[in-house]
Amino acid sequence: MITRKNKVYSDGELEVILSVVPTVSNIEFLSKLLGRSSRSIEVVYQIAFQSGPFGKNNDIQVEKILKAKKRVGIAIGRQGE
Range of the domain at 25: 13-72
The number of distinct structural domains making up the chain is 1
Instruction: Quote the pTM value.
Output: 0.81
Residue 78 lies in a domain: no
Residue-level pLDDT at 77: 80
- CA torsion, ordered 17, 77, 61, 54, to nearest 10 deg: -110
Residue 7 lies in a domain: no
Residue-level pLDDT at 30: 96
- The Cα 58–Cα 47 span in angstroms is 10
Residue 77 lies in a domain: no
For CA atoms 8, 77, 67, 26, give the dihedral sign: positive
Rg (CA), the chain: 12
- pLDDT tops 70 at residue 6: yes
